Amino acid sequence: MVVDRQGTPLRAFAGERGVWRHPVQLSQVSPLYLQALLTYEDRWFYYHPGVNPLSLLRAAWQAVEQGRIISGGSTLTMQVARLLAPHPRTLWGKASQIFRALQLEWHYTKAEILTLYLNHAPFGGPLLGIKAASYAYLGRGPDRLSHGEAALLAVLPQAPTRLRPDRNPAGAQKARDKVLDRLQKWGVWSADQVVEAKVERVADHYHPHPFVAPLLARRLKALSKNAHQGTIVSTLDSNLQQSLQGLVETLQGRLPLRSSLAILVMENSPKKVRAYIGSANFWDNTRFGQVDMVQAIRSPGSTLKPFLYGMALEEGLIHSESLLIDAPQSFDGYQPGNFNQGFHGPVSAREALQQSLNVPAVGLLKRLGSHPFVSRLRHGGLKLTIPGEGRPNLAVILGGAGSNLESLVGAYSALAQGGIAGKPRLTQDDPLIEKRLLSPGSAWIIRQLLASANRPDIPTSNLMRGGQRRLAWKTGTSYGFRDAWAVGVTDRYTVGVWVGRPDGTPSPGQFGAQTAAPILFDILNGWPARFWWAQPEPRPHSVQAVEICWPLGTAASRQPADHCHRKRVAWALHETVPPTFLADQPTMGTREPLVHYWINPATGLRVQGACGLANRQPRSRAVWPLPLQPWLSADLLSRSQPPPLDPDCPKEPPPSPTPFALIGLQDGEHLRTPSIDALSPPIKLSRLGGEGPTYWMVDGKMAAKVAAGETFSWPINQPGWHPITAMDENGQFVRIRVHVAKE
């Protein structure tokens, strides 16, 4: 039998011959049962040497007088001897039974002999032992029995087949009352107790054996060194487990056909699993219910991103508000896109993590290195598999590797444990295996970033709930909508949810935020306060709050005011405030973060070196990375541009740029379309100049990527102003605004 941490049965397994026998000790049996058993079966059990001569003589006299065997005169010790070594009902068989009983008394104590009886006595059908019978007929263990239930279980071994309560409740009740009368006769129980016990009706129910956490129980049985007998004590909490199984039953209607789900709840501090849901329905073959998806290797989608940002913090690559680029980019030929097919332009590391943006994450992994990232994850206990003989590459951060729910939950617990991840423990005997995955400071910062993300199920004003129910959460979706993930971390627990089809078939439209996250929130919202509260984790000394400026990304106190276009407060690690990454890819155009120039102090206008002005003064402007400029407002763009040239001063001829223009529409143009959308012809747009493919953005979202020389068809069916941007692979762009009106 597999039991929870308090001994409550979860699932029982039959023996090799289909027999149900659950080991039990004397201390686990109600004293009422022992009183009923000994009074009815063997009042002199603790005094005779295994055989009661008076009982044997009485049985022999009854047999002679009646011409048939009325009673066997057997003691409990003799009954144990017959159970362990069956014999025919003959004089020779009785003699053998007596000899075995004397042997038992010689080698074992009375308590040990009584324990043998409790574990081997027949109770009807495949039930052997008091514990199996108690669960089958009463629905609970033998430690909590009423007077009537104790008397019933005491008499059943007398005729286990004939007196089975589920088949002959009237006969079982009559036999029970006979035991109660004898207990009253010998003064063991009072008349009031017996009268009250007789009121209890013997039910004809046969309670099925416990079937809670069936997949975990099967797993533990397979791992057990003694799989055919004994009790396996798991770490589960049966109340929480059954509560989640009930929730899953109600959630099945939400799931697509043939989809399953898995849920794992682990207490952070001892790393012990408290609930384990391996599938949506164990008995549903259409959902592959007997496949344990807690252990299944699947693509983790974006669930690895928090660890990437944490490691980047430790390496001094970023702080929490570092300016990152979310724009079309190519990383050695790898061109990732975002889940929603759009781009956001300038984003902070915090925003990129909370919104799970792909391009900033890939750019960050390129600087950190795929091999060091995967190596650190594995060293920290997070299992990652690369298909075939493949080597880690940039696709790892978007799900290009394999992991499982159990490993992810163990890794995410590091966010609440100062960066210490651990292997989830399934039994009370499992050793505690912990490894450092992140530093205390980076783990604390990443948890703050994930906990500050808006939850769709709670209004922003109620997000913190007084600071007591703080949840750091992250979702993920694998390629082709095959796997939907959600992981949540509270002070006390880490909860992981997976949804998908076990056979790997895509489920279009099912992704982490829509499918797995609502299940995670349903689980957590139903928890009482004690599941949330724990000792608040203080901010590590290695973490500081620093005011920084965009676009340079460095501390505001270390740069002139005119270089600071936007201010933000960032979490920094070890007082490290790294500058914004340059667009260091050949396809994006490298340039310095500052533009240096001379001005005429009299006019404030820019002058060139050939001007020869004696009192010219040096100036500089902070420049935004080139790929971000299509997303900048006119004000931010102007603040990063040097002043115009002084017309009264000779100037050097500027370098001739590659011609670049948008063909098909002009800035500020007004368009009128028919009132019926179907009759609106698309506008053909193309670009002049530039290199490589063209990235077309409409209303700030990626609309298309077309090859050089090809046109872009824009359906003009939405009224209002529309910004349109064309960008080549070198970062050159042109932006216009046009107005569409219905006739």
Contacts of 180-188 spanning 24+ positions with Cβ under 8 A = 180/147, 180/148, 180/151, 182/39, 182/40, 183/35, 183/36, 183/39, 183/40, 183/151, 186/39, 186/43, 188/35, 188/36, 188/39
Helices (H), 252-404: 305-314, 349-354, 358-368, 370-379
Catalytic residue among 30, 238, 259, 302: 302
Chain mean position to CA 21: 35
Task: Provide the 10 A C-beta neighbour count for residue 608.
Answer: 18
The number of beta carbons lying within 10 Å of the beta carbon of residue 482 is 19
Residues 6+ apart with CB under 8 A from 470: 451, 464, 490, 491, 532
* Annotation marks residue 691 as catalytic: no
* 440 and 448 Cβ atoms separated by less than 8 Å: no
User: CA separation (Å) from 461 to 353, 456, 469?
Assistant: 22, 12, 13
Place of tokens 């009807």: 124
Residue 625 structure tokens: 């990375």
- Alpha-carbon gap, residue 127 to 22, rounded angstroms: 9
Q: Is 362 buried (19+), middle (13-18) or exposed (0-12) by CB count in 10 A? A: buried
Helices (H) and strands (E) in the chain, counts: 19, 25
Q: Helix 147-155 to helix 31-41 angle, to the nearest 10 degrees?
A: 40
* Contact of 328 with 582, CB cutoff 8 Å: no
Q: Which of 351, 156, 554, 75 minimizes the C-alpha distance to 343?
A: 351
Alpha helices in 466-618 (DSSP H): 517-525
How far from 92 is each of 60, 95, 204, 258, CA to CA, in Å? 15, 5, 39, 63
Largest CA distance in the chain: 142
Residue from 30, 41, 74, 322 carrying the catalytic annotation: 41
The strand pair at 345-348 and 323-326 is best described as: antiparallel
Tell me the one-letter amino acid at 126.
P
Q: Does 41 participate in catalysis according to the annotation?
A: yes
- From the centroid of its chain, how far is CA 552? 38
Q: Is 576 left (phi over 0), alpha (psi -120 to 50) or beta?
A: beta
| Distance, CA of 700 to CA of 448 (rounded, Å) | 29
Rounded to a whole number, what is the distance in angstroms from the first to the last CA of the chain? 76
Residue that the structure tokens 């989809």 belong to? 259
Taking alpha carbons only, the member of 226, 378, 326, 389 closest to residue 588 is 326
SS3 labels along 434-456: EEECCCHHHHHHHHHHHHCCCCC
- Beta-carbon contacts of 561 under 8 Å, excluding residues fewer than 6 positions away, are none
Contact assessment for residue 593 and residue 579, using Cβ atoms and an 8 Å cutoff: yes
Q: b vs e for 596-607, b when ≥16 Cβ sit within 10 Å of the residue's Cβ?
A: ebbbbeeeebbb
Q: Is 16 exposed, middle or buried (0-12, 13-18, 19+ CB in 10 A)?
A: exposed
DSSP H or E run through 739: strand 733-742
Active site residues: 41, 302
